[in-house]
Structure 1
């Protein structure tokens, strides 16, 4: 009799365990649909919540045009790359969230791993950006204007069939010029965007070594910056003011191939003028620095 009772208890325990397991599996199966209703992106204005979006809302073609576009880009190794991506434009999402009455000045995008990148509004919303199909040859012909988007699907290369949601949400932008190294700015797995009405700062000026003045033929001038891996230094030798289309000095990050960042050699008698500017995300470009070297 006691044996029968023990067996009865064992059978009852097994029954409840199986029942609990079935309920657990059923609840687990419903998790994706529950998560689908959770916000994956929140927009803030000066620290206050402006709007939140689920994946379905960002995909809603009745609200947001879904752009499918190829993007050319360069990383700071440097390596030329192409990506194909699909999603709503950043401008459309921010307009829907409600831009502040005071002019927005900067945008900070933050990823789920807490990495973030700050941009001026001009860099992402006002400056014209392009796809350069002939990026690898340096040929600027055939350029196509492209929007800055919040990619919900993306892939390396140019084939849309390869796109996945692995990097969702990914900031994708074109290049303002064919040499611009925009790849480090393409933040992946974004979950928040902060709009600030505080005016951005300005990058420090470029410095040069040796000091300007009289030098000997063959003198090599090194350009530098206090945030050398956050900005790109552009320079001219013809007396004109440099901009993003000028020659890039630090074509590789210092932690990659610093030997590629070659000094500027001064040769020939007369006055040699180097003008340089620092351009980087999140702040306005530096003032133009002028360095004059004289070879008697």
Structure 2
């Protein structure tokens, strides 16, 4: 019996297999159709699937717009109803939708990190993507690939701290306490190639500082005055004009901080703030063009190019070069280096462009070279001048005497010549600083008289000179007590045009009256406005500043706001004992100290 069953099953087996194949084929058709119909539906209530979003991977850092891409679907684009980032819905003006692309405004991503982006569209499931936003990226053909760092990633690296010395192009020295990632370590992490030659740092506002690799990484840099060696740092925290690390903050960071190769090297302009990009390239560095020399014609003040040669005693020589560079020079025949004098030290402020010429009194060899970041130093240019003894020119003292306008005081004959009556004076350094730049003058070449009073006309002339204003033309009758022939008429006109002075009732200026401390404060505050320092104070803020003075009640109402502004700016201070003494006459030492503080205050290029 069992044998018979086996025979029957063997006979039926092929037919059963054929039937199974046929059934599976016929049943598969509706299943496949159902799957195809469901491809456009999600498992969430029958919603259609949204296109897949791709995050922006091209230089995706803060303060730049983000572009999310997708396989274009016009129906989905038309159905988009909103965009949210980290759960916050964006206003319509913060994003734009185009074929295959959604652009999100740069203002949305204020810090670095990972952001959850969700796109909502009617009838579709939410489209989601995680967008990484970096703080800083390194790019260029000097690295194998572009690398993006978030602030958290940078902060997780080994940090170094230092108090950097820096000099701006005013020039003035200052300190910057900073902490961050050593630049060398960061470039190593990005895999900088051995053949890399140039490194450029760009801030979010487009400001750039360019360096050769040699000058930035292969040349020693220092912190002065101690001369301590220091490495460049990408600071994540800093405190400007401070040596106190406890005052550091993340404001304007990351920032490039570098040491100085020499005590006077003007490095501050290379402290790129809100650093966004480091571009490393294999480009060969160029070389700065060498300086040229010019003779200043004493009659016309015109400058005429010269290769050197025979000149009259007292001839003045100017040096010129690429405006981006600093010209280092010597007059003793030695080769100039970064410790030599800088001819064009003043790059900003009222002294910008007022370079002190080289005075040739004896046979002189001038050697000069142009130096700045991003290119190799120029070749040394040599200019040899022989003094024609048979045609002696004027002495320096004679030139000063003839150039001095009638009614004005005599300037010091040469930079660095100290007045004999300011030794030990509390304002001595300020007096020497201003006199060396021909901003203030002595009563003679050697006498300053720091304790003498200063007149309203004299102080107005000082402010006009410090601001670099051209002398104006005094309109007839503008001030009844100022004659157009007076030595100070042009300065008074310029100061009045800039609203630095207004005069008294009745059309009087009182030029020969001794200036009081509150009058000086008022002129200083108005001069700051003329220099672009538009400052305002609330009533409570003004009262708080003035309340520090015991004699606050005797400050004239018309001068209160200007006195408060000058005090807040640190330009003018009280006297010992806590008084302001508004009606006390200011002396020449006080005027020098106040002018020096004023110069520092209006220098907008310092940190």
**TM-score normalised according to structure 1 size:** 0.81
After superposition, the C-alpha distances for 1:215-270 in whole angstroms (9 at most, x for unaligned) are 00000000011x22x111000112111111111111101664136520000002xx
Unaligned runs of 5+ in 2: 1-83, 90-108, 116-130, 296-305, 389-607
The aligned residue for residue 273 of structure 1 is 365
More off after superposition, 87-96 vs 44-53: 44-53
Which of 159, 171, 180 aligns to 1:87? It is 180
The corresponding residue for 1:143 is 227
Q: 1:181 to 1:26 in 2, by over 3 A?
A: closer
2:203 corresponds to 1:111: yes
Indicate the residue corresponding to 2:101 in structure 1. none
Q: How does 1:124-135 map to 2 (within 5 A)?
A: 124-132=216-224, 134=225
TM-score calculated relative to the size of structure 2: 0.40
Aligned equivalents of 1:56 and 1:257: distance in 2? 43
**Displacement of 1:95:** 0.7
Q: Which has the higher contact order (CA 8 A, sep 6+)?
A: 1
Within a 5 Å distance, the mapping from 1:255-266 to structure 2 comes to 256-258=350-352, 261-266=355-360
Distance (Å, rounded) in 2 between the aligned partners of 1:185 and 1:172: 8
Q: CA RMSD in A?
A: 2.2
Taking a change above 3 Å as real, the CA distance of residues 26 and 175 of structure 1, as seen in their structure-2 partners, is closer
State how 1:20-169 maps to structure 2 within 5 Å: 27-28=87-88, 34=114, 38-46=133-141, 49-60=145-156, 64-101=157-194, 103-132=195-224, 134=225, 142-156=226-240, 157-169=242-254
After TM superposition, the structure 1 = structure 2 runs for residues 225-240 of structure 1, keeping only pairs within 5 Å, are 225=321, 227-228=322-323, 230-240=324-334
Q: CA shift at 1:38, angstroms?
A: 2.1
Distance 1:128 1:25, change over 3 A: closer
SS in 2 for 1:242: coil
- Please tell me whether residue 204 in structure 1 is matched to residue 289 in structure 2: yes
Count of equivalent residues: 257
Residue 42 of structure 1 contacts residue 49 of structure 1 at CA under 8 Å; is this kept in 2? Answer: no
Indicate the structure with greater helix content.
Answer: 2
Structure 1 residue runs without a partner (length 5+): 1-23, 135-141
Q: Distance in 2 between matches of 1:25 and 1:266?
A: 69
State the SS of the aligned residue for 1:258: coil
The whole-number CA distance in structure 2 between the counterparts of 1:254 and 1:215 is 32
Alpha-carbon distance between aligned partners in 2 of 1:123 and 1:186, rounded to the nearest angstrom: 15
CA contact (8 A) 2:347 2:353 kept: no
Larger fraction in strand = 1
- C-alpha contact (below 8 Å) 1:232/1:278 kept by paired residues: yes
Larger CA Rg, structure 1 vs 2 = 2
Mapped partners of 1:154, 1:111: distance in 2: 16
- Superposition deviation, residue 45 in structure 1: 2.5
The answer on 1:252 being equivalent to 2:346 is yes
